[in-house]
A and B are shown apart, each in its own frame.
Chain A
Amino acid sequence: MIKFDNVSKRYIDGEEALANINFELSKGELAFITGHSGAGKSTLLKLILAMERASSGQLIVNGMNLNRLGRRRIPFHRRQIGAVFQDHQLLFDRSVFDNVALPLQIAGYHAHEAGRRVRAALDKVGLLCKERLNPAHLSGGEQQRVGIARAVVNRPSIILADEPTGNLDPELSAEVMGVFEQFKSVGVSLLVASHDASLIASLNYRTLTLDHGRLVEDRAAGYAGSENAGR
């Protein structure tokens, strides 16, 4: 589904954010990306979304080589990806409902069908009662969950989440991860960037660790369990 083939990313001002990244994420797989602040987690997700371009190497998403993705194709590429942004990227000139409806509106869904899906998505993140509010009046954790609802509302085949549980208490974090697991079970591929070590440890999925732009560890799912068993 997603394949990094020797991908490097150097920002214009010289910072090498990612160096020679190699890994593959298959359909229906969930993986965490972890690493210190500035390790390159967000950059990696931005490459997949075509928000940034790789400086070298091949990045293939859903069979499409992003190096050959023209500007006009980028929106359609993004429509198959649901993304949760570290900085939420919500619009404060409209309600929670309209924020979540945005991807459906863009894809041209009928208002009735869109409404049904938006409510289903808001229900999943426990915000159905706040659909009429302006996201500016919500708490940080609630805003984050609005972003999650928006990411899943279009039933994407890939979900990218950048610190989706950063502002959530352990209980809500578990709930949000539960939503992600539901999508995983129907074949959606998910990449979740997080430095919440306890959350990662508790769920025991594949974990990619970045350090100064290098992929230093690719720990397979179930590894933590066996490690614990070994001690």
Chain B
Amino acid sequence: MPAASARKPPRRQGSAAAALRKWLDGHRMTALTSVRRLLATPVSSLLTVFVIAVSLLLPSLLLALSASLDSLLDGVQQETQISLYLDDSVTDFEAQEVSNDLLTEPDITTVRLISKAQALEEFAASSGLGEVLAALDTNPLPATILVTPVSTEPGRMTALAARLADLPAVTSAQVDSQWLRRLEAFSRLVSVAGGVLSLVVLLGLFVIVGNTIKLAIENRRQEIQVIKLVGGTDAYIARPFLYSGVYFGGAGGALAALMQAIVFTIFNSPLRELFSLYEGELTLLQFGGIDMAALVVAGIVIGWFAALFASLRSILAMQP
């Protein structure tokens, strides 16, 4: 039949390469059309992107913070110390003697004495309160001996600290690993919170992107009806909306990455100061290219799935 054979030409050139090119051509056209549609309503598109970005930013910040804390904890773990605060009546000479004695202990590897004067100097430098402190008649800071034990195992350290606290010159002994434990617990909490928030945000983004796509489909109901009447498949109809979802998600992820980079840059220098008090080799908040790419990819994947879900729901609900 002439009419039927006339329908075949597009397939006749039919090598796999030609078919692929045809398919890619179709996708490129749809992709461009989708961009044009989003740009046609720039304000609402930007708003959607912004909402997605902020939603992605919150869990991403928490997870990155937790990762940074973890790598920071790894770095200082070996340097766990015991701080011995000396009595005010102990002279610098006596303090030096005590620290020399400690060096001979088999349980202890290194000993570092921070005299009252040194302590004041360091604190003045790091706190910026030098003038206030200079105005004081007396030095309120105690002399400190930092002891690095052979074993960093918590039980042994606590026992050692208790023994050292009994020395006459020492008023109190503090195991520095306590703040590490707290920091570890805090990091775990942050990571759990980040995980939970990720799930909540995932749901939220599904609703946000899904709703945006649903509205876009409602607005194009007439067009979809006509496309169906002339033989468009559900997949063909859904395609531009899937592209929209990908664009929204990708742009939202990129904006979130940018915001996170800014936040980390702002917070890094005060954090560096905070942690330098503890004298560790510190890895501060890290946010590199891979993390940025991960955010964008997460945005794209979420956007695509949300759009797929929403468009299939809407399109299947319409008359075939």
* A interface list, Cβ under 8 A from B: 27, 49-51, 71-72, 74-76, 78-80, 83, 85, 89-91, 93, 102-103, 105-111, 113, 150, 154-157, 183, 186-188
Contacts and interface: CB of A to CB of B under 8 A. Distances in A.
B6 A91 contact: no
Given A106-B232, A107-B10, A187 B223 contact: no
Given A93-B223, A187-B1, A50 B320 contact: yes
A109 B231 contact: no
B309 interface: no
Contacts of A27: 1
B26 interface: yes
B223 to A, nearest CB: 6
A162 to B, nearest CB: 12
B270 interface: no
B3 A188 contact: yes
A134 B23 CA distance: 28
A110 B25 contact: yes
In the complex, the 7 A-B pairs of residues with the closest C-beta atoms, listed nearest first:
A79-B231, A78-B231, A155-B6, A103-B230, A157-B3, A75-B233, A186-B2
Contacts of A150: 230
Nearest to B30: A105
Nearest to A76: B231
Contacts of A188: 3
B29 to A, nearest CB: 8
Interface centre among A71, A108, A111, A188 (most CB of B within 10 A): A108
Interface residues of B, number: 28
Contacts of A80: 4, 7
A155 B4 CA distance: 8
A154 B25 contact: no
B229 interface: yes
Interface centre among B25, B232, B319 (most CB of A within 10 A): B232
A32 B225 CA distance: 26
B229 A49 contact: yes
B317 interface: no
B1 A89 contact: no
B22 interface: yes
B227 interface: yes
A154 B7 contact: yes
A150 B232 CA distance: 14
Given A91-B223, A154-B7, A187-B3, A107 B231 contact: yes
Contacts of A71: 234, 320
Contacts of B136: none
A186 B3 contact: yes
A121 B126 CA distance: 82
25 contacts: A51-B229, A51-B319, A75-B231, A75-B232, A76-B231, A76-B233, A78-B229, A78-B231, A79-B231, A83-B229, A90-B226, A93-B223, A105-B29, A106-B227, A106-B230, A106-B231, A108-B23, A110-B10, A110-B22, A110-B25, A113-B9, A113-B10, A155-B6, A156-B3, A157-B3
